[in-house]
Amino acid sequence: MLSITPRAPYDFSQVYRHLALQEHECLFSCENGAIYRAIRTSAGITPFSVSWENNALAIAPLGAAIGEAAKVELCRFVARWLNTEHRLDDFYAFAKNNDLLAPLVARYHGLPVLGLPNLFEAFSWAIIGQQINLTFAHKVKRQFVEAFGDVHAQNGRAFYVFPTPEQIVHLSIDELKTVQLSKQKAMYLLNVAEFLLETKDDLFALSFDELLHRFLGIKGIGSWTANYVLMKSFHFPQSYPHLDVGLHNAIKALRGMPRKPSADEALALGESFGEWKAYATFYLWRSLADI
DNA sequence: GACCAGGATATAG
DNA sequence: CTATATCATGGT
């Protein structure tokens, strides 16, 4: 059993509830207070569960025992996924004086900005979700994972693991289209896979501006996708996908607006979020499930 | 059947 | 620089 004590404040029930809302998700499942998932480590495909015990995240590898290196990798993944190194305390100190955010941070107190540690998964999910409704996006993602990723059986449970760039980069457009991707999105996914395989630098050592510039150089990655990845994979608080339709819907609902805000209005509103644009965006997204 | 979905690009004016 | 067509298909 591995353990991680998150920074305070941290409410695992908020985390669990948020993940459990993703009914169509194929890469993890929630059951009786525990989250089940598998990732790739140096020990191969590693299934595990996460629950809350003794005021800490309890991470239990399932099946064959894994070595120390894989344990470190597993803990690093969970820490980035469930964002145990958040800065909620500073965000809350800011948000209590913001009329739009104050009710949200009270309602979802202890919920960190949940992450997507797997960079290829984050890019792919963003690309798949471009311009289509989330129900269909989840369907495409599931088919994509089933067709090109891996499945690992453990304790009578099927664990699906997202494909690597290596598993995708040699596929043809037609092969990718079999999972209901458009031709453009198939090309975008190939571009991202090539980008990740060609990049020798440690991306996690680079600045927000440098990463934004590099991402926008990939055909298929625009402002929305780049900021989404910088928010979910890199945890940059200043990332702000201001073109996001869900963000616009949340603003409209909370402000009681007769129409959605324009992109320019959303960008301007972002300035009222100060250095906490990503945190604000995540809390606005979270509110959509309760409107 | 029209219109919108967690957008981005190519092309035209 | 702004405007429009295109993409794939499910939900409303």
Q: What pLDDT, in 10s, does the model give residues A67-114?
A: 999 999 999 999 999 999 999 999 999 999 999 999 999 999 999 999
Amino acid at A198: E
The catalytic position among A89, A99, A201, A244 is: A244
Cα–Cα nearest to A247, from A276, A283, A272: A283
A262 touches strand B (CB under 7 A): no
Residue with tokens 């591995």: A2
- Percent of chain A, pLDDT > 70? 100
Secondary structure (DSSP) of A1-39: -EEE-PPSS--HHHHHHHHHT-TT-SSEEEETTEEEEEE
Burial of A58 (0-12, 13-18, 19+ CB in 10 A): middle
Three-class secondary structure of residue A167 per DSSP: helix
Residues 6+ apart with CB under 8 A from A202: none
Q: Is A244 a catalytic residue?
A: yes
A281 touches strand B (CB under 7 A): yes
Nucleotides of C under 7 A from a protein CB: 7-11
CA of A183 to C1' of C8 (A): 9
Q: Is the pLDDT score of A23 beyond 90?
A: no
Residue with tokens 């590099």: A214
CA of A29 to C1' of B13 (A): 51
Q: Among all strands, which nt has the closest C1' to A232 (CA)?
A: B6
Model confidence pLDDT, tens digit, residues A223-248: 999 999 999 999 999 999 999 999 99
Q: Is the pLDDT score of A11 beyond 90?
A: yes
